[in-house]
Amino acid sequence: DTEVTQTPKHLVMGMTNKKSLKCEQHMGHRAMYWYKQKAKKPPELMFVYSYEKLSINESVPSRFSPECPNSSLLNLHLHALQPEDSALYLCASSHVMRARNSPLHFGNGTRLTVT
Amino acid sequence: GIQVEQSPPDLILQEGANSTLRCNFSDSVNNLQWFHQNPWGQLINLFYIPSGTKQNGRLSATTVATERYSLLYISSSQTTDSGVYFCAVVTDNYGQNFVFGPGTRLSVLP
């Protein structure tokens, strides 16, 4: 069983919709991540939050807007997406330790389809 | 940036067979992790192994950081081992920028 919970499991949205993906962890981790995974490809890093502050943004288009309301929660707000944004969106968390980090723990993902 | 390669890209095994998966990386890394992604998309931690050897049941992993590679061994494979195996490396000092290899797709036949 995963200790990182993502909702919803599946999401279908139109290009004019606004929706949000949610992620929650209770492992005391202070780093949280969003990854995007297209079919038959590895996960690609989108954003990293460290101590609730955005520490890495991998040049993600502004139609994806992350938010970290507290140390346990991570949201990804979606607006005006394109069909090519359809993918599996994975949330992960880890401890924050200089030089030697802790392993990534992934949630089960949200499978997003943009119509 | 760092390049991560995995081999073989695809592997088909008969149940009960053994296999070795390889991960090569182009630069020094602070950490390395192996994952199994099952057919439902769930990414499962297998090993967190910046160096040395670890074993967990039928699986074991060895990382030789000085030579920039890691190996994942699967013994007595089972159909539930099917899926994609990824290695991911960390290069930054705060350990947050994980870079994934392209994966090895494993199919274990009954």
| Residues B71-103: tens digit of each pLDDT | 999 999 999 999 999 999 988 766 678 899 999
Question: Under an 8 A CB cutoff, do B94 and A96 touch?
Answer: yes
Q: Is A109 on the interface with B (CB under 8 A)?
A: yes
Q: Is A39 on the interface with B (CB under 8 A)?
A: no
pLDDT at A89: 98
Q: Is A77 on the interface with B (CB under 8 A)?
A: no
For residue A109, what pLDDT band results from cuts at 50, 70 and 90? very high
pLDDT exceeds 90 at position A44:
yes
Mean pLDDT of A65-79: 96
pLDDT at A83: 96
Burial of A43 (0-12, 13-18, 19+ CB in 10 A): buried
Task: Output the average pLDDT for chain A.
Answer: 92
| Token pair in block for residue A33 | 């991540």
Closest Cα partner for A88 from A73, A107, A72? Answer: A107
Report which of residues A96 and A60 the model is more confident about: A60
| For A99, nearest residue in chain B (alpha carbons) | B93
Q: Which residues of A are less than 8 Å from B95 in CB distance? A: 94, 96-102
For residue A100, what pLDDT band results from cuts at 50, 70 and 90? low
Output B83-86 pairs: Cβ under 8 A, ≥24 positions apart: B83/B36, B83/B37, B83/B38, B83/B39, B84/B36, B84/B37, B85/B6, B85/B21, B85/B34, B85/B35, B85/B36, B85/B37, B85/B46, B86/A42, B86/A43, B86/B6, B86/B34, B86/B35, B86/B37, B86/B43
β pairing state of A10-13 and A110-114: parallel
Mean pLDDT of B27-55: 93
Question: Under an 8 A CB cutoff, do A100 and B86 touch?
Answer: no
| For A97, nearest residue in chain B (alpha carbons) | B94
Question: Which of B94, B99, B104 is most worth mutating to test chain A (most A CB atoms within 10 A of its CB)?
Answer: B94
pLDDT at A97: 67
Angle value at C-alpha A73, between A71 and A76, nearest 5 degrees: 130
The set of residues, in sequence order, having a beta carbon less than 8 Å from that of A59 and lying 6+ positions away, is: none
